[in-house]
Amino acid sequence: MSIADNIESDKENQLISMRIKLPYLGRSIQMKTISQGEYLYKMQRSDIVFASGAAGTGKTFLSVAYAINLLSEGRVERIIITRPVVEAGESLGYLPGDFKEKISPYMRPVYDALYSLLSSDIILRYTEEGKIEVAPLAYMRGRTLSKAFIILDEAQNTTVSQMKMFLSRIGEKSKAIITGDISQSDLPNNVESGLENALKILKGINGISFHHFDKKDVIRHHLVSEILAAYDNAGK
């Protein structure tokens, strides 16, 4: 093995051994792939990170875990997690209940991540104190989000104007993580995805990092990555 190979091997070992400490639970999360280690490294060093790629790679889960880590250390004052509410084959108006109940299914995956990392008591207390906020993207308009860790999930379903609006909300001493899979957009065919647009036009801006997860980084059931590859090969 050459010196270059040794250096590369050491780097990969360092990345996959990286951890996110969760003092509330008295444990930590270790990266499962080298790509996850690279993603954490970028979140640690950049104020804005775009993470794209297939579902099941840890994009949202790791960003929520890192947000909890920074909140516990007092490095941010609140966590804000938002998603665009896009109707995919079903009309929001026909769902039962008031507006909060109607949007609840859209925000459920975010709560799943939170409940896997924090106790329900802590989530309830922090929500009441304003330290954790989960809300549709439309609720971000007109706000300045300072000293916060902000996660925009399912960003492939934002329009270009929505993405611009979100990015312009980021205030001082804040971090923003934008996650999504451009192959899974629920927007009409004639509407450009704000995530896809941002990945093209924001390259080269100092302080913004980009990370892409491949299907080999999927960490759900071992068949998921093969299923995704089969759909890609079939052009679906």
Q: Please give the average per-residue pLDDT across 201-228, as a whole number.
A: 83
Q: Does some domain include residue 11?
A: no
pLDDT band at 222 (very low <50, low <70, confident <90, very high): low
Report the pLDDT value the prediction gives residue 35, as an integer from 0 to 100: 94
pLDDT band at 71 (very low <50, low <70, confident <90, very high): very high
Cα–Cα distance measured from residue 59 to residue 221, given in angstroms and rounded to the nearest whole number? 16
Report the pLDDT value the prediction gives residue 7, as an integer from 0 to 100: 47
Q: Does some domain include residue 136?
A: yes
Q: Which of 124, 166, 119, 115 is nearest to 145 (CA)?
A: 166
Amino acid at 39: Y
> Which helix or strand (DSSP H or E) is residue 173 part of?
none
Q: Does some domain include residue 8?
A: no
Q: Does some domain include residue 5?
A: no
Cα–Cα distance measured from residue 95 to residue 90, given in angstroms and rounded to the nearest whole number? 8
Tally DSSP H helices, then E strands, for the chain: 8, 8
From the number of C-beta atoms within 10 Å of its C-beta (0-12, 13-18, 19+), residue 158 rates as buried
Q: What is the pTM of this model?
A: 0.84
For the chain, what percent of residues have pLDDT higher than 90?
53
Q: Which of 66-75, 83-92, 204-213 has the lowest mean pLDDT?
A: 83-92
**What is the extent of the structural domain holding 164?**
18-233
Cα–Cα distance measured from residue 87 to residue 73, given in angstroms and rounded to the nearest whole number? 37
Q: Does some domain include residue 196?
A: yes
Report the pLDDT value the prediction gives residue 56, as an integer from 0 to 100: 85
Q: Please give the average per-residue pLDDT across 107-135, as a whole number.
A: 89
- Name residue 176's beta-bridge partners: 48, 150
Q: Does some domain include residue 67?
A: yes
Q: Which of 72-76, 111-115, 153-157, 226-230 has the lowest mean pLDDT?
A: 226-230
The answer to whether the CB of 218 falls within 8 A of the CB of 225 is yes
Report whether pLDDT(57) > 70. yes
Report whether pLDDT(105) > 70. no
Report the pLDDT value the prediction gives residue 93, as an integer from 0 to 100: 47
Pairwise pLDDT comparison (139 vs 155), residue with the higher score? 155
The domain that holds 42 is classified in CATH as 3.40.50.300
- Name residue 204's beta-bridge partners: none
Q: Does some domain include residue 10?
A: no
Across 8-22, 69-83, 205-219, which has the greatest mean pLDDT? 69-83
What is the dihedral sign for C-alpha 158, 161, 164, 165? Answer: negative
Q: Which of 85-89, 183-187, 215-219 has the lowest mean pLDDT?
A: 85-89
The answer to whether the CB of 53 falls within 8 A of the CB of 178 is no
Our count of domains for the chain comes to: 1
Cα–Cα distance measured from residue 20 to residue 32, given in angstroms and rounded to the nearest whole number? 12
Report whether pLDDT(212) > 70. yes
Report the pLDDT value the prediction gives residue 95, as an integer from 0 to 100: 43
Pairwise pLDDT comparison (101 vs 169), residue with the higher score? 169
Pairwise pLDDT comparison (74 vs 101), residue with the higher score? 74
Q: Does some domain include residue 56?
A: yes
